[in-house]
Chains A and B, each alone.
Chain A
């Protein structure tokens, strides 16, 4: 295994022990951040359901007080709204479940578009707080890759987050996928030019902590990241087969 990052000052890694600790901590941080975001989304759906139920109660009390029948159309409309929110919460919980199961297998053949789309779906709320839209992933044909899905999501999210500072004036990040032989490419588009030699001060390069995590994750995932491209970041991933649960834990 071994990752390669163009456009980053490659750090000296202080041995695999530290690298592995950082990797686990990075994973936990990502898991925590996404869980908090999911919890927020569920709470919002619950809050709307709660208000709809409260309004139904209010309408019943008003109707008893005034001695008038309930507006059945209004009641039906409110019930539909409750059902819509339940559906919304159910979709969120399904995503959460998919995310939770991404740690089941250290190496697995996955659909790249599904993994990338799940990463985007989970990150959309965070991106929207920066007024950034994450467009749905575009891919004309199915791409399968043998990888660690959780680590790949973690790597992709850190790279996307570092790209927030490089986002174009339309504030929209698009992601395309492609495949060459056994390698798959994730192309993060619509960014402004970034050159480590000239632009580091002006246009956000990943901070040191992000940089360290990108390097460690890329190393584990056998990925190559080109951050030094004109208006895009390209992550090239090769299949990994050797990782086992014990190598990740150690």
Chain B
């Protein structure tokens, strides 16, 4: 099954080309140019990985990361950045980003990170399901 990706960047031309290249690699890509639109999407849809630009107008990447994690803590987020400082990278990881990639990004590296994100998300979902089943079994006293 193909990976379901949400790509967030205020550079619309970047979104257009990047999504085409990812689609050529069999991924199912949705693009949005603002954090606000991304938050709406995440409320309605489930994604295997979300790729977020660190510096965007209105709401920057770190704020977006926090807001996305609040809506769905299992969501796997890869940060893209034009000027990575060690501090920003550490902050992003502390806030729960899965990885950080510097622009211009190598699509092969990004694809690898997306595969890892999907695998990680599946493990988290399986664990959550297992816990739910355990809770049901213990509460029912079977």
**What is the interface of chain A, defined by CB distance below 8 A to chain B?**
36, 39-41, 43-44, 46-52, 54-55, 58, 62, 81, 125, 128-129, 131
Bound Cα distance A40, B105 (Å): 14
Return the CB mask of B102-128 against A: 1 if under 8 Å, else 0.
111101000000000000000000000
Tell me if A48 and B11 are in contact (CB < 8 A): yes
A39: chain B residues within 8 A (beta carbon): 82-83
For A127, give the chain B residue with the smallest CB separation: B57
From B57, which residue of chain A is reached at the shortest CB distance? A128
Cβ contact within 8 Å between A47 and B14:
yes
Could you show 11 A-B contacts with beta carbons less than 8 Å apart? A46-B103, A47-B11, A47-B82, A48-B14, A49-B104, A51-B14, A52-B17, A55-B21, A58-B24, A62-B24, A129-B58
A81 touches B55 (CB 8 A): no
Which residues of A sit under 8 angstroms from B102, Cβ to Cβ? 43
B24 partner residues in chain A, CB cutoff 8 A: 58, 62
- Known contacts A43-B104, A48-B14, A58 near B21 by CB under 8 Å: yes
- Nearest CB in chain B to that of A78: its residue: B17
A89 to B10, CA, bound (A): 17
CA A40 – CA B103 in complex, angstroms?
9
B24, B103, B107, most chain A CB atoms within 10 A: B103
* Residues in B whose Cβ lies below 8 Å from that of A49: 104
Number of interchain pairs (Cβ within 8 Å): 58
Known A40-B55, A55-B20; 9 more pairs at CB < 8 Å = A36-B83, A43-B103, A47-B11, A47-B14, A51-B18, A51-B107, A54-B17, A81-B17, A129-B60
A51 touches B82 (CB 8 A): no
Q: Is the interface of B mostly helix, strand, loop or mixed?
A: loop
User: A-facing mask of B44-71, CB < 8 A → 1, else 0?
Assistant: 0000000000011110100000000000
Q: Does B13 contact A (CB under 8 A)?
A: yes
**Known contacts A51-B17, A51-B18, A131-B58; A44/B107 CB under 8 A:** no
The complex places the Cα of A51 from the Cα of B18 at a distance, in Å, of 6
Are A44 and B58 interface neighbours, CB within 8 A? no
Partner pick for A47 among B21, B57, B104, CB 8 A cutoff: B104
- Of the candidates A46, A50, A62, A131, the one whose C-beta lies within 8 Å of that of B57 is A131
